[in-house]
Amino acid sequence: MSIPHKGTFSSLLTSLINLLSFQIFLTSAQIVPLQLNDLSNVLPKPAVPQRGVSSVTPQKRGGFVSTKNGHFYLGENLFDFRGFNGPTLLDVANKVFGLSKGPEVAHITGWDNSTQDWIYNEETWRQMDNALAIAAEHGVKIIMPIINQDYGSSDTDWVGNFIDLIRYRFNITEYTTAQVSVDWFVNSSIREDFKKIIKKLLTRVNTVNGRLYGRDDTFLAFETGNEMNWAEVFVTSNSTNGTTNGNSTGAVNATDANATINGTVTFNHTRPAPAEWTIDIAKYIKQYAPHTLVMDGSYSRNPQDTWPEETLKSPYVDIFSYHLYNNEASFEKAYKTFTCAGALAWSLRPHAESNGFITHSESDSVFSYHVPGWTNSTASNFDPREAGIVALTYKSSFEILNKPVAPYPVPASPLPYFGTNGTHIGITWKGAAWAQSYQVWASESDGGGFIMVANEIHDNVESGDLFVPIDVKSPKSPLQIPYKPQIHYPEPMPIWRDTKWSNQPSRNPNEVQKLTKRHTISIPRKHSKLTKRQNHPQSVHSRTKGGWFIVRGISVDGLPGPFSEPTFIPSTYS
C-alpha cells in the first residue's frame, strides 16, 4: 500500500508538543492547608539569596503547521517531534459526552428535541478556552480528537464517546443496546448531528483570547476521532445456535429506548473507519478550519488493512496515526513499512494542584510518565524506566530536528504553602515543571538571613503525599524528611530506540538498538543526604516571631531555579 507524501506519525490520543507541564486542578485529602492571616505582604521580608533564572519560559510558535514530503513544518522550519501525549492538558475536553459524568465536566449534557440540537455546557467550554489560551502563550501545538470511541461498557466509559451521543440522540438507556442499534459510521442522521458539534467547535470564539477555533494556529490538527475503528457486531441468539453477523445497523429499533437484545453481543474491532465517513468528516472540518491539518482517527492496528486506499488518496486528510500497543509483530510490520514525522509516548501526567504528581496506571506495568523522571520511587505508580525514557525522548526531540541537545530546562518557581497532616504542621508545595529535586530555605523573623534547611527533596509521589514537618518555634532547624521505603523493581527493561527515521538518510535504516543502563544518557540523580547549611547573613526586624520559608527547584543538571516568594508562619501557630 503506497502512502502519499503526507505527515505520518505514531500517536495514542492527543499531543503535548513540548514538555511543559500544564497543571490540572485537584485537591488533597491527606494534607489540609492552614488558614493563616497573610502576613507575607505586611512584615518586612528577609533578603532572598541570589535567585536562579528559569529557562521554562513561554515560547510562542505562531503559524499553522503544514506537511511536506513526510515531514511537519512550521513556516520554513522543520517541525518533526518526539514527545509525550498529554491527555490531561485539555482534561475537561476529554470528558465530553459521558452520560455518567456530571454536568460540571461534560461539554454536552443531552439532546434538545425542541431545537434539534445538543445541549452544551458553556461553563466547561470556557474552561477549555482558558486551557487553549495558556497553550497558545506557551507555544504548545494541540492535536484535538473531536470524539472518542469506546466499544467497551459503561464501566470503561471514562471520558465519553460516540455511543453516549447515540444514547442521548435516540433516548437509549442500555449501553450495549446503543452499540448495536445505530452504526455510527453508516447512519446518516447521527452523522449530521455529529457535524453540528464540529460546527459548534470550529465556529466558537475563545472567550479568553478572542480567537476563532477554526482559525486558531494553536491547533496542529483536528483528529476525526480517537481510535475510530469500525466494529463488526456479532449477536449470538439465546434461543438458537445461530449467529447474526453484521455491522449493527438494524439489529434493534434505533428509536426504541426500551429495546432489548436477545443474545450475547461480541465485536471485532480491527477494521479502520470507512473511507466515505472519514473523507466526509475531514472535508467538513476543512470547511471551517481550512488552514489546520486533519488527522485520520482510525484505530490502525491492523497492518494489512491499516487505512482504506481512498482515505490515503484524499486531499482532505493530511496525517495518519498508528497506535502501538503490546502486539510486537504488528508493530514491527508497521515500523518497517512506514516512517513517522512525529512520535508520542503514552502518556505524560503533570504535577497535581496540591503537591506531588497525577499518576495513571493501565495495569500490565503500563504507567504514565513524569518529567524529568526518577530512577527511584516510593510510590507504586511511577514507572521504574521513567528516567531513561524521558531522557531518551528529550534527546530524540532535538536529534529529529538535527539540532544539538540542549541542557535540561531550569525549573520555574514552585508554590509553597503550609498545612497539617493531622498531627504535625509542615510545608509542601505545588511543584515546578522539570524540577528534579527541591531545596527548602528558612529564616527567622527576629534577624538573620535564609539558610538551607533541606536539600534533595523529591516530589515523585502521589498527589497529596508530599509533606515536610517543620518546627514553627525553631524554623532554622534542619528538616527531617519522613522516611519512606523505596520500591525495588526487577532489572529494568531495555529501552527501544528509533534509529530509522531522521531528516538525513540513515546508515542502518532498519536497525533497532537496545539501550541498557550503560548507555550514555543523562539519567537524573538518585536521592542524596541532606547537605550542610549555607548561611546568607542578613538582618531583618519584626515584632511578630515566626519563620520565613522559600523553596526552589533544581534541574537535572544541578542548576537552581528561582526561589518562591517568601512565606511566613507565626511561631504561635499550633
CB 412 within 8 A of CB 22: no
Strands 15-16 and 81-85: antiparallel
For position 518, what pLDDT does the model report? 26
d(CA 297, CA 210): 28
pLDDT tens digits along 196-254: 999 999 999 999 999 999 999 999 999 999 999 888 888 777 654 444 444 443 343 34
Question: 331: Cβ–Cβ under 8 A, 6 or more apart, which residues?
Answer: 324
pLDDT at residue 529 is higher than 80? no
d(CA 230, CA 452): 59
pLDDT tens digits along 19-44: 333 333 233 345 777 766 666 566 67
List the grid coordinates of 336.
518497517
Count other Cβ atoms within 10 Å, centred on residue 119: 14
Domains of the chain (ranges; CATH) run 7-31+57-230+273-381 (3.20.20.80)
Count other Cβ atoms within 10 Å, centred on residue 130: 14
In degrees, rounded to 5, the angle at the alpha carbon of residue 332 between the alpha carbons of residues 330 and 337 is 100
d(CA 239, CA 33): 61
pLDDT at residue 302 is higher than 50? yes
For position 507, what pLDDT does the model report? 30
For position 100, what pLDDT does the model report? 44
In order, the DSSP letters of 379-418 are STTS-TTHHHHHHHHHHHHHHTTT-PPPPPPPP---EEEE
d(CA 570, CA 445): 9
Q: Which DSSP state fits 471? A: -
What's the gap between Cα 310 and its chain centre? 32
pLDDT band at residue 145, thresholds of 50, 70 and 90?
Answer: very high
Give the largest CA-CA distance in the chain: 90
In order, the DSSP letters of 189-226 are HHHHHHHHHHHHHHTPBPTTT--BGGG-TTEEEEES-B
Q: Which amino acid is at 254?
A: A
For position 219, what pLDDT does the model report? 97
pLDDT tens digits along 474-490: 999 999 887 778 776 65
- 65-69, 261-265, 523-527, 545-549 — which is least confidently predicted? 523-527
Tell me the pTM. 0.81
List the grid coordinates of 543.
515584632
d(CA 544, CA 296): 63
CB 217 within 8 A of CB 293: no
pLDDT at residue 535 is higher than 60? no
Instruction: Give the 3-state secondary structure of residue 439.
Output: strand
Q: Which DSSP state fits 369? A: B
Strands 7-9 and 32-33: unpaired
For position 120, what pLDDT does the model report? 95
